[in-house]
């Protein structure tokens, strides 16, 4: 393929070097020194293995650089945008270089007769794909997906191991409205072993932030545990080594699906105990301290969402803190019920895990006794609840509830669990989607 790169710094150089072996690559940069270096077969940055890739591609005549945008766009079918997007003092990103490059690409596309694919590889904020599309349409007078495509394809490499990261990424994320462009990238990346994952543009645009924020969270969480352990004279490295051995709950997908607040008898209690322990040791742990506040905010979100419907009465499916248990202790939906009552709403509820007697019209004595502290009327079967309430909140995760959303189209559901895709279930608004 014929590829151009706009910005031949770390990301542009590494990608250009890695792709030049099997493609023809033209680098573009405003810095003539970098252009000169590439034209001599040298990358503008140091990365292990990159010089070798450049030397091979340079000898084969497959890698060159220029300051001439027009030449680069004319002589390529795919343009990767790899310019810098530095952070500004207010926390937003400076995307001016992206917009500048895309305006120039648009000018060239005005005269170009063949389809052109523009790939945003730099780290950008959600909405950039749409903004870039508009800029290119304005400058070129051409139409998205008819004459050109814009793809969001974030870069995940780490400096120091960038070449290896390029060939072996954790995942390869691509978002575009153009199926042609998605297939083109699939072909370009056919030898890259990270899973090629085509997603909505919004997902592709935000994933880099999500990844890096999580990485930062991991560092700070590990360090807070380290500080607490140090104060208690416990080997923190061993603690985290053991922590990482648990691939079932700790290092896994478990707990990661956006949904409702946590509850139950263990998480709130043990979190609070560790927080108190840290305080007693004089260790400041803002990450650990913030967890409970974050949990309360999701409960507050749920309450706001329910109140927005302006109903005087609501039904709730699922009272226990999670599916598959009859444990009501610290169940977050109970906080929601209390607040709805304070706001004057009448609340009905059904829970299939009432003392293990699922799907019966009986409500166990224990359950009734526990729930008498809460302003809610228990209903013995789901059908009754769904017939008597036009707004129903699903607070427990159970695949069969998806059927309910289809069976009771007259009911507006609020899904606190994140189990109903918003596209498939238009009558189920979700808390986290
Ligand atoms: N460096 C990393 O480890 C890394 C990893 C993943 C993602 N990213 C992201 O990739 C993007 C590029 O990062 P980088 O580290 O390669 O930056 P960099 O500063 O090394 O390179 C950017 C290049 O773009 C050039 N440039 C600036 N404006 C230009 C313009 N209008 N036209 C042509 N060239 C222009 C600069 O001269 C520079 O050579 C950023 O958005 C960054 O956040 C970086």
pLDDT of residue 294: 97
Q: What is the Cα–Cα distance from 229 to 241, expressed in whole angstroms?
A: 13
Beta-strand ranges (E) seen in 200-275 are: none
pLDDT of residue 59: 95
Distance 355 CA to ligand 1 centre (A): 59
Nearest-CA residue for ligand 1 atom 15 is 10
Q: How far is CA 279 from CA 27, 276, 285, 288, 315, in A?
A: 54, 5, 8, 11, 41
Q: What is the Cα–Cα distance from 80 to 5, expressed in whole angstroms?
A: 5
- DSSP for 94-131, please give it: --HHHHHHHHHHHHHHTT--S-EEEEE-S---TTHHHH
Distance 81 CA to ligand 1 centre (A): 9
pLDDT of residue 250: 97
b or e along 160-192 (b: 16 or more beta carbons within 10 Å of the residue's beta carbon)? eebbebbeebeebbbbbbbeebbebbeebbeee
- What pLDDT tens digit does each residue of the chain (433 aa) get? 999 999 999 999 999 999 998 999 999 999 999 999 999 999 999 999 999 999 999 999 999 999 999 999 999 999 999 999 999 999 999 999 999 999 999 999 999 999 999 999 999 999 999 999 999 999 999 999 999 999 999 999 999 999 999 999 999 999 999 999 999 999 999 999 999 999 999 999 999 999 999 999 999 999 999 999 999 999 999 999 999 999 999 999 999 999 999 998 899 999 999 999 999 999 999 999 999 999 999 999 999 999 999 999 999 999 998 888 888 888 999 999 999 999 999 999 999 887 556 556 677 888 888 888 899 999 988 999 999 999 999 999 888 888 888 899 999 999 999 888 767 777 888 888 7
| Ligand 1 pocket check for 85: Cβ under 6 Å | yes
pLDDT of residue 205: 97
Q: In what order do the strands lie in the sheet with 116-120?
A: 63-66, 24-28, 2-6, 78-81, 116-120, 148-152, 171-175, 195-199
Q: What structural domains does the chain harbor?
A: 2-199 (3.40.50.720), 296-430 (3.40.50.720)
Nearest-CA residue for ligand 1 atom 25 is 7
Specify the DSSP class assigned to residue 220. Answer: H
Q: What is the Cα–Cα distance from 422 to 433, expressed in whole angstroms?
A: 7
Strand partners, 349: 316, 378
Distance 132 CA to ligand 1 centre (A): 17
Decide the pairing of beta strands 148-152 and 313-317: unpaired
pLDDT in tens, 391-414: 999 999 888 888 888 899 999 999
Q: Are 65 and 106 in contact (CB under 8 A)?
A: no
C-alpha 24: how far from its chain's center?
Answer: 33
Distance 83 CA to ligand 1 centre (A): 4
Which atom, in ligand 1's list, is nearest to the CA of 124?
41
Q: Catalytic residue positions? A: 266
Which atom, in ligand 1's list, is nearest to the CA of 45?
20
Residue 394 three-state SS: strand
Nearest-CA residue for ligand 1 atom 18 is 9
pLDDT of residue 139: 98
Q: Are 305 and 320 in contact (CB under 8 A)?
A: no
Nearest-CA residue for ligand 1 atom 17 is 84
Burial category of 51 from C-beta neighbours within 10 Å (exposed 0-12, middle 13-18, buried 19 and up): middle
Mutate which of 29, 50, 65, 80 to test ligand 1's pocket (most atoms within 8 Å of Cβ)? 29
Q: Hey, what's the torsion of the CAs at 97, 15, 186, 422, to 10 degrees?
A: -50
Structure-block tokens of residue 399 = 């695949």
């Amino acid at each position: 393929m014929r590829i151009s790169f706009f910005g031949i710094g770390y990301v542009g150089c590494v990608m250009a070097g890695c792709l030049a072996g099997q493609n023809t690559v033209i680098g573009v940069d405003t810095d003539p020194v970098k252009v000169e270096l590439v034209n001599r077969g040298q990358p503008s940055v140091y990365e292990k293995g990159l010089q070798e890739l450049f030397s091979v591609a340079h000898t084969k005549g497959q890698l060159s650089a220029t300051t001439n945008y027009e030449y680069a766009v004319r002589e390529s079918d795919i343009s990767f945008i790899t310019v810098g997007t530095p952070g500004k003092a207010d926390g937003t990103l400076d995307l001016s270089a992206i917009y500048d490059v895309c305006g120039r690409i648009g000018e060239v596309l005005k005269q170009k007769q063949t389809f052109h694919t523009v790939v945003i590889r730099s780290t950008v904020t959600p909405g950039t794909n749409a903004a870039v599309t508009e800029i290119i349409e304005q400058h070129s007078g051409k139409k998205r997906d008819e004459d050109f495509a814009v793809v969001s394809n974030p870069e995940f490499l780490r400096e120091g191991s960038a070449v290896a990261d390029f060939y072996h990424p954790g995942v390869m994320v691509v978002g575009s409205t153009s199926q042609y462009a998605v297939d083109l990238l699939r072909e370009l990346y056919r030898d890259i072993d990270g899973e090629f994952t085509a997603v909505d543009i919004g997902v592709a645009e935000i994933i880099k932030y999500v990844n890096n924020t999580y990485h930062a969270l991991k560092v700070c969480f590990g360090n807070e545990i380290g500080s607490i352990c140090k104060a208690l004279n416990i080997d923190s490295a061993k603690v985290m080594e053991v922590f990482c051995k648990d691939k079932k709950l700790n290092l896994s997908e478990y707990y990661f699906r956006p949904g409702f607040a946590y509850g139950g008898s263990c998480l709130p209690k043990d979190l609070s105990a560790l927080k108190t322990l840290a305080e007693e040791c004089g260790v400041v742990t803002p990450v650990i301290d913030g967890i409970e506040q974050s949990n309360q905010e999701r409960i507050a979100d749920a309450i706001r969402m329910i109140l927005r419907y302006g109903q005087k009465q609501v039904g709730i499916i699922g009272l226990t803190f999670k599916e598959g248990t009859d444990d009501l202790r610290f169940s977050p939906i109970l906080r929601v019920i209390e607040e709805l009552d304070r706001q004057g709403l009448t609340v009905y509820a059904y829970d299939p895990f009432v003392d293990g007697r699922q799907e019966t019209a009986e409500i166990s004595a224990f359950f009734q006794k526990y729930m008498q502290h809460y302003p809610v009327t228990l209903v013995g079967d789901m059908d009754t609840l769904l017939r008597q309430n036009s707004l129903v909140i699903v607070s427990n995760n159970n695949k069969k509830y998806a059927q309910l959303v289809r069976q009771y189209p007259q009911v507006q559901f609020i899904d606190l669990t994140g189990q109903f895709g918003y596209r498939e279930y238009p009558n189920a608004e979700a808390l986290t989607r």
